[in-house]
């Protein structure tokens, strides 16, 4: 099912429940008007000319959003790029920008790798590790590279903020499967997202050439 520039995987059949028991609101959210179950996962053909070659995962529909300009941001591929470019010091990232002018990111750093990079001992606190000049330089370079690699507002990272405290399982920021619940993080850390866009102390901006 085409949705926001992506194709969501939906299915129905005798092996799929028809609805939630006595929960009409949940049913309305989980199923479309034709009774197909909405998985929230997007997919695309390996080869559009040969559909029998199968599908590949294309991110989560539920994570994607639009900027204030109406530009659609595909979170999955961008997160993957951030993690790859940020190796070994980036564990993960939460992409921001819903109803904002540009894309930002809350970065979950690998503190052990950051300590190694800066030559710091394990007893140095997370805020002090992330404030170290060597570590700041690493993340400045990352933001600069992501900015330069962007081809448009939908995939050009314009700002970043490093998180010095871990995500919370109790608050639902991490799912049972161990993955990040982006919407929960953005909800519980709304003040940090505001700070990110207000240019608060600690925000990393790219050097725009």
pLDDT for 59 equals 62
**What pairs with residue 79 in β-bridges?**
none
**What pairs with residue 45 in β-bridges?**
55
pLDDT for 85 equals 97
Query: Is there a cis peptide before residue 66, judged by omega within 30 degrees of 0?
Result: no
> Token pair 């608050």 is at which residue?
171
The tens digit of pLDDT for each residue in 77-114 reads: 899 999 999 999 999 999 999 999 999 999 999 999 99
Query: Which residues, at least 6 apart from 77, have a Cβ–Cβ distance to it below 8 Å?
Result: 58, 59, 155
Task: State the virtual CA torsion across 29, 34, 35, 41 in degrees, nearest 10.
Answer: -60
Which of the given ranges, 61-75, 92-106, 167-181, has the highest pLDDT on average?
92-106
CB 159 within 8 A of CB 205: yes
**Percentage of the chain surpassing pLDDT 90?**
53
Q: Can you say whether the dihedral through the CA atoms of 124, 174, 81, 204 is positive or negative?
A: negative
CB 82 within 8 A of CB 93: yes
**Rounded Cα gap, residues 60 and 77, in angstroms:** 10
- Domains contained in the chain, CATH given: 2-61 (2.30.38.10), 64-198 (3.30.300.30)
Average pLDDT of the chain is 88
Q: What does the pLDDT average to over 191-195?
A: 95
Higher model confidence: residue 17 or residue 108? 108
Tell whether the model's pLDDT for residue 16 goes beyond 90: no
pLDDT for 45 equals 85
pLDDT for 143 equals 97
Higher model confidence: residue 66 or residue 57? 66
pLDDT for 1 equals 56
The model's pTM? 0.73
pLDDT for 87 equals 96
Band (pLDDT 50/70/90 cuts) for residue 56 is confident
Tell whether the model's pLDDT for residue 5 goes beyond 70: no
pLDDT for 209 equals 61
| Residue 169 DSSP SS3 | coil
pLDDT for 3 equals 55
């Amino acid at each position: 099912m085409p949705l926001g520039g992506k194709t969501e995987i939906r299915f129905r059949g005798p092996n799929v429940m028809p609805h939630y028991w006595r929960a009409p609101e949940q049913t309305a959210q989980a199923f479309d008007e034709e009774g197909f179950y909405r998985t929230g996962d997007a997919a695309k053909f390996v080869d559009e000319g040969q559909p029998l070659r199968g599908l590949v995962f294309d991110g989560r529909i539920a994570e994607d959003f639009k900027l204030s300009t109406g530009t659609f941001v595909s979170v999955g591929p961008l997160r993957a790029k951030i993690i790859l470019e940020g190796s070994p010091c980036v564990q993960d990232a939460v992409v921001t920008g819903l109803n904002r002018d540009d894309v930002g990111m809350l970065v979950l750093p690998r503190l052990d790798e950051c300590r190694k990079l800066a030559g710091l001992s394990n007893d140095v606190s997370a805020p002090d590790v992330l404030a170290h000049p060597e570590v700041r330089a690493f993340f400045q370079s990352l933001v600069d590279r992501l900015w330069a690699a962007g081809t448009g507002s939908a995939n050009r990272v314009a700002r970043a903020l490093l998180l010095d405290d871990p995500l919370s399982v109790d608050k639902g920021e991490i799912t049972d499967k161990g993955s990040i619940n982006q919407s929960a993080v953005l909800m519980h850390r709304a003040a940090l997202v505001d700070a990110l866009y207000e240019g608060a102390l600690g925000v990393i901006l790219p050097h725009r050439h």
